Structure 1
Amino acid sequence: MDAKVASLNHDNVAGGVIEGKKEVKSGNFPLTLWEVTMACGVLLGFVLGLLGIYLTMPASDYSFLKLPRSLQDLQILKDNLESYTSDYTIQVLVGYCLVYVFMQTFMIPGTVFMSLLAGALFGVFKGVALVVFTATTGASSCYFLSKLIGRPLVFSLWPDKLTFFQAQVAKRRERLLNYMLFLRVTPTLPNTFINVASPIVDVPYHIFFLATFVGIIPAAFVTVRAGIALGDLQSVGDLYDFQSIITLFLIGVVSITPTLIGNKGKP
């Protein structure tokens, strides 16, 4: 573990590596009290926002409200929320956005179910716009939170992936937008890792933002469209048929081609 962290330090990932190394080596909790306080402050902001939405809704039984972990949970949530969406559209929209951004900010799995829910409640075009907005906002929120407090967590959780990502970013610096688009469209690296690691390896925010905003559109369209026929899905694996996979792959190839050509032309 020390060797991996030292390698990252040699590659000049960013400042503060030695401190992160000591914390991981000693086995202590990797965050300082100030960093934990900041994270708790962000969490409290989300909680207060959701509480405000809850208080503006009519008195009812909201026991169905929970983060979906399966298609069955999602179907129950969709069936109950449909009756509120037309009369309390603003509250449902704001609540949806807060939950989606919260999940991405704190790396909570299950946003694919939220994307399906957008299609089921709002249709394809509104659903895609909603998912792209919330996914980009959530990724940006995670980016800035990681920039403040994420370094020790990234070093302790993903040392190998971070070494690979740092090397690729350094090698493709001149055409970094194309590479980041490629990562967003293809499953080369998990999106959660990209959100957290990008500020650590000095990916500029404007490139991160553009790559996220544009790169998630194809997958968002596939997922939201599937949400319209939610009852026909047997598993999350049914989202991506052969045609969808080929389309995403081709988009990824097109996005990375300028970077490959540029690297080949260098001496």
Structure 2
Amino acid sequence: MGTEDEAEQVQQPAPIASKFPLSFWEATVASTVLVGFLFGFAAVYLTLPDSDYSFLKLPRTLQDLQLLRDNLENYTSDYTAQVLVGYCVVYIFMQTFMIPGTVFMSLLAGALFGVFKGVALVVFTATAGASSCYFLSKMIGRPLLSSLWPDKLKFFQNQVARRRKSLLNYMLFLRLTPTLPNTFINFASPIVDVPYHIFFLGTVIGLIPAAYVTVRAGLALGELESIGDLYDFNSVATLFLIGVVSVTPTLMSKSES
């Protein structure tokens, strides 16, 4: 009887709670960061004048973005600080928690602030959001990545280990080409031991070309029919060429050794 009871116990499925990849402490850290962002949203919202803000939502289509642009244009000149802070909080929040749609935010920057200010704003917020994601992942990311993308994580880890001596060039290459998604790079970099100063420089420099392409397109937002119009053959080829140039020193050092 004892043997049968033990066999039944072995065959019982593991409790659902044990499958959750984060410990209580890690979930608490993530929740605390989320609550901090919510307070930031509330602070920005409360400083705006009384009005109908039903248009305020994360854009998911070009139509949503055009509606948001049309309404925010009325506020940007009179409440520039609030719009800027609100924009930064939203962009950094999306980057921190890997929420898709930052391309719409980059288009919005161009539509509201022009090319020069828009590129500076996008690079700043994208770098801040990527850094926030980096440090959050440093605390809680390993179990999530191991659970969600084990193969992709192993590939990235092997590539980083092979290019340790020219890691900045490799990070620039990743930022400039679609080899790996930027959100994955942000979250996985601390797990595969990419030093923060390399991560930071690769992000700041590597995001500028793509930010310029997207922000400039925001100036003619009404002419865009789809997100695919942003990246025509010439734009993609240019970004890829820059990426190849950035990784060339790494390839040459390997061939010489």
TM-score by length of 2: 0.93
Distance (whole Å) between structure 1 residues aligned to residue 255 and residue 128 of structure 2: 35
- State the percentage of identical aligned residues: 77
Q: Give SS of 1:146's match.
A: helix
Deviations 1:79-101 (CA, angstroms, capped at 9, x unpaired): 00000000000000000000000
Query: Residue 197 of structure 1 corresponds to which residue in structure 2?
Result: 188
1:42-121 mapped onto 2 (5 Å cutoff): 42-121=33-112
- Opposite residue 67 of structure 1, the aligned amino acid is L
Residue among 224, 230, 233 paired with 2:224: 233
- Partner AA of 2:162 in structure 1: K
Q: Counterpart amino acid of 1:179?
A: Y
Where has structure 1 moved over 6 Å in runs of 4 or more? none
**Does residue 115 of structure 2 align to residue 124 of structure 1?**
yes
Task: Please say which of residues 27-36 and 97-106 is displaced more in the overlay.
Answer: 27-36
**Shift of residue 245 of structure 1?**
1.1
Residue 251 of structure 2 corresponds to 260
Aligned equivalents of 2:17, 2:87: Cα separation in 1: 40
Give per-residue Cα distances to partners, 1:50-100, cap 9 Å, x unaligned. Answer: 101111100000000000001010001000000000000000000000000
Deviation for aligned residue 1:122 = 0.3
Give the deviation of 1:26 after TM superposition. 9.1
Match of 1:134 in 2: 125
> Deviation at 1:48?
0.5
Instruction: Report the 3-state secondary structure (helix = DSSP H, G, I; strand = E; otherwise coil) of the residue aligned with 2:19.
Output: coil
Aligned length, in residue pairs: 243
Does residue 222 of the first structure (1) align with residue 213 of the second (2)?
yes
Distance 2:18 2:228 in 1: 38
Q: Kindly name which structure, 1 or 2, has the bigger radius of gyration based on alpha carbons.
A: 2
Please state how far the C-alpha of 1:115 moved relative to its aligned partner. Answer: 0.2
Question: What is the distance in 2 between the residues matched to 1:220 and 1:190?
Answer: 15
2:155: which partner in 1?
164
User: 1:107-161: CA deviations, max 9, x gaps?
Assistant: 0000000000000000000000000000000000000000000110000111111
RMSD of equivalent CA atoms: 1.3
TM-score, with length taken from structure 1? 0.89
1:173 paired residue number: 164
Residue from 233, 239, 251 that aligns with 1:242: 233
Unaligned ranges ≥5, structure 1: 1-22
Q: Deviations over 1:5-58 (max 9, x none)?
A: xxxxxxxxxxxxxxxxxx9x9961010111111111101111101101111100
In 1, the alpha carbon distance for the partners of 2:244 and 2:141 equals 31
Cα distance in 2 for residues equivalent to 1:27 and 1:161? 23
- Distance in 1 of aligned mates of 2:155 and 2:28: 31
Q: Helix, strand or coil: the match of 2:32? A: helix
